[in-house]
């Protein structure tokens, strides 16, 4: 690890699409970038060495789940998650805010205390305050730390959304105080506001007043349509500072990513590549392929002839079809790796086209290809 202050360079733009580079003490991150999700210290079904071969520059971990298991004491013995999981590149950690929504039946919100959880593992009471979230992320040794926020479920109720903004802003202020000064790491704020432009503006402007190293759009990919997501991005993304990275949390399909890049987003994460891999759904340059389908039973061709990772092209669709039908774990491992590799190739092509000024052509070709 080298001594390198966190920074973001906006290299060029092609209309709204942005080409940039994040510098961290653990390496560079070329943007737009996609982060495979390693919620519990592993990207499901994929070896870390194989993830590196895909060109992945950063992965995501989760504060809530790592707090419960393996726990802070264990992670401290390894000086954080990097050595624990044998990953020496940057890690971003979600603060636990998403679990406030996804595990809403197991928690309650108190603006002054934080999120009060009943552990989904053993029922024990867990208090995740803004300060505790930052402390856990520091123990994880995250390179990019996220503030604790309240992420409401999809709703049109402005009162609920406004309350989430008030709680999230209060927590963001406390997170920044707890984070302190650490120029080698970054603290990102998270904007809420649902699908309302005025609420998004309010949330973002409050975060900008506090001041963060980067900014995220939270509260999307929670059930709204793709067109609704693109519309609120188009109306609100320019409230973010131009010279700071912009992160759309929990997104998404290749088409989602492409549309969000078109609105000026720089960073993405999603479980989709590995979750789809475990069900036999492959993302390729020829589209989405359901390898369980009987039409692939005798197909001798590789999963993706345009795949740049040679190890994957050693296996035919017929073989993968056989593995899936036999419930062999290698099927999900290979297809998950293929999907991560495809996503990284896709991001690389996005960056190339932004650099060449041909992003609009690439966008038109692929925006509806993976829906």
299-348 pLDDT, tens digit each? 999 999 999 888 888 999 999 999 999 999 999 999 999 999 999 999 99
Same domain, 146 and 250: yes
Contacts of 239 (CB under 8 A, 6+ apart): 200, 201, 204, 205, 208
User: 322-332: per-residue pLDDT in tens?
Assistant: 999 999 999 99
Overall domain count for the chain:
2
Residue 60: predicted pLDDT: 97
User: 245-279: per-residue pLDDT in tens?
Assistant: 999 999 999 999 999 999 999 999 999 999 999 99
- Residues annotated as catalytic are 94, 269
356 domain-assigned: no
Same domain, 248 and 318: no
Same domain, 124 and 19: yes
Q: How far apart are CA 59 and CA 67, in angstroms?
A: 18
Q: Cα 347 to chain center, whole Å?
A: 13
Asked if the peptide bond before residue 130 counts as cis, ω within 30 degrees of 0, the response is no
Host domain of residue 51: 7-270
Residue 124: predicted pLDDT: 83
Contacts of 70 (CB under 8 A, 6+ apart): 41, 84
Same domain, 83 and 148: yes
């Amino acid at each position: 690890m080298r001594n390198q202050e966190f920074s973001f360079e906006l290299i060029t733009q092609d209309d709204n699409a942005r080409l940039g580079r994040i510098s961290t003490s653990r390496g560079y991150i070329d943007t737009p970038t996609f982060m495979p999700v390693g919620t519990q210290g592993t990207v499901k079904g994929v070896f870390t060495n194989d993830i590196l071969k895909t060109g992945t520059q950063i992965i995501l971990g989760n504060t809530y789940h790592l707090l419960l298991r393996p726990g802070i004491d264990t992670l401290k013995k390894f000086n954080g998650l990097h050595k624990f999981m044998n990953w020496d590149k940057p890690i971003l950690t979600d603060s636990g805010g998403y679990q406030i929504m996804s595990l809403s039946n197991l928690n309650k919100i108190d603006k002054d205390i934080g999120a009060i959880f009943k552990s989904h593992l053993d029922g024990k009471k867990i208090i995740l305050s803004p300060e505790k979230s930052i402390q856990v992320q520091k123990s994880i040794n995250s390179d990019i730390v996220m503030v604790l926020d309240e992420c409401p479920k999809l709703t049109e109720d402005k009162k609920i959304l406004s309350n989430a903004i008030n709680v999230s802003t209060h927590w963001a202020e406390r997170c920044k105080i707890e984070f302190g000064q650490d120029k080698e790491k970054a603290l990102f704020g998270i904007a809420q506001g649902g699908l309302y432009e005025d609420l998004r503006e309010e949330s973002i402007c409050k975060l900008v007043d506090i001041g963060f190293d980067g900014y995220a759009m939270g509260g999307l990919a929670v059930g709204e349509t793709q067109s609704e997501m693109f519309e609120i991005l188009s109306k609100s993304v320019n409230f973010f500072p131009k010279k700071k990275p912009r992160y759309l949390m929990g997104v998404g399909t290749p088409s989602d990513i492409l549309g969000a890049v078109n609105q000026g987003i720089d960073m993405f994460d999603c479980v989709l590549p590995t979750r789809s891999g475990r069900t036999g759904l492959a993302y390729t340059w020829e589209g989405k392929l359901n390898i369980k389908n009987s039409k692939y039973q005798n197909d001798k061709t590789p999963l993706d002839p345009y795949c740049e990772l040679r190890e994957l092209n050693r296996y035919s669709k017929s073989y993968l079809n056989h593995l899936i039908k036999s419930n062999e774990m290698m099927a999900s491992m290979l297809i998950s790796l293929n999907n991560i590799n495809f996503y990284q190739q896709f991001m690389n092509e996005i960056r190339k086209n932004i650099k060449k000024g041909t992003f609009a052509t690439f966008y038109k070709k692929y925006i509806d290809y993976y829906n």
